[in-house]
Structure 1
Amino acid sequence: MFNKTIVNYVIFGILTTVVNISVFSLFVKIFNIDYMFSSTLAWIISVLFAFITNKVYVFNSQTVAYVDILKELINFSFFRILSLGVDLVIMYLLIDIFNTDEIFAKVIANVVVVIMNYVSSKYFTFRNRRS
């Protein structure tokens, strides 16, 4: 039997990853913007997408008070900033040190980041607190 939370997280994690890599690819390949800056822009857009989908569809957070939602967003963003740092370090290592393709590096970084983000969301951000 499948755990509904994990299945939903995988589905929305894949969609968030698609958003992240699509935005990154658009900026790097089409607009020829530096990969670090492009990765940061892609991160901002995908974090907003992930917050909404994780809150509503994955962890079924029941918070409705503005202050509680704001606390969730701040907590969610804090852990996503940490994962952005991991993302950028992995990309730097793979691209600048090991000379791999930017898209390949982005995919590898996203695998690590998705695992980190699940743990932080499940245990720290959306702990099914009711307001």
Structure 2
Amino acid sequence: MLKKIWDKFMNREVISYLIFGVLTTLVNWVVYGMMVRNGIDYRIATAGAWVVSVLFAFIVNKIFVFQSYDLHFAFVIKEVVSFTACRAASGVMEMVLMVCMVSWLNMDEYVSKVLVSIVVVVVNYVFSKLFIFRKSEEKPL
């Protein structure tokens, strides 16, 4: 039974999603670090790094993870808008969960960050799989 579960969840799509997720995080950190080192305020650097990393994540998720090759302008714009909105929503969710866990439940901030990050990764995958990059023959839930 565990093998069935493992085989269902450990496939090319999930593994590539995790790999590109790590790369997206690295892009975010590198852009943030470069901006801060060049005298840009950390708040602007955070926003800039988020924009660049979301753009990077969109491109690699579209092409390599979910293999969505439709490049018609209107279709790509729809995907970009959906992707960005979902990432913004999961960002708000991340902030709310962190405040709840750290401020209200008095949990360690690093333990909370790890737990919340796991939830956010799963939510972003589900958003991408079911609503953003779904194949035209697939129906949303």
Shorter-chain TM-score category? 0.7 to 0.9
Aligned partners of 1:62 and 1:128 also within 8 Å: no
Q: Identify the residue that residue 30 of structure 2 maps to in structure 1.
A: 22
Aligned partners of 1:9 and 1:58 also within 8 Å: yes
The yes-or-no answer on 1:68 pairing with 2:86 is: no
Letter paired with 1:123: L
Distance in 1 (alpha carbons) for counterparts of 2:28 and 2:95: 13
The yes-or-no answer on 1:55 pairing with 2:62 is: yes
Distance in 1 (alpha carbons) for counterparts of 2:39 and 2:94: 21
Gaps of 5+ in 2: 1-6
Q: Identify the residue that residue 127 of structure 2 maps to in structure 1.
A: 120
- Greater shift, 82-91 or 17-26, is seen at 82-91
Count of equivalent residues: 126
Residue of 6, 12, 16 corresponding to 1:8:
16
Identity of aligned residues (%): 35
Q: Which has the larger radius of gyration?
A: 2
Aligned partners of 1:40 and 1:84 also within 8 Å: no
Deviation at 1:76, TM superposition (A): 0.5
Aligned partners of 1:43 and 1:84 also within 8 Å: no
Letter paired with 1:51: F
The yes-or-no answer on 1:31 pairing with 2:39 is: yes
Note the alpha carbon deviations across 1:89-115, whole angstroms, 9 max, x for none: 5677899x68x99xx69x746544333
Taking CA–CA contacts closer than 8 Å with sequence separation of 6 or more, which of the two structures ends up with the larger relative contact order?
A: 1
Q: TM-score, normalised by structure 1?
A: 0.73
Query: Residue 21 and residue 73 in structure 1: after superposition, are their counterparts in 2 closer, same or farther (change >3 A)?
Result: same
Distance in 1 (alpha carbons) for counterparts of 2:31 and 2:119: 19
Deviation at 1:63, TM superposition (A): 1.6
Query: Residue 85 and residue 115 in structure 1: after superposition, are their counterparts in 2 closer, same or farther (change >3 A)?
Result: same
Deviation at 1:55, TM superposition (A): 0.2
Gaps of 5+ in 1: none
Q: TM-score, normalised by structure 2?
A: 0.69
Aligned partners of 1:20 and 1:43 also within 8 Å: yes
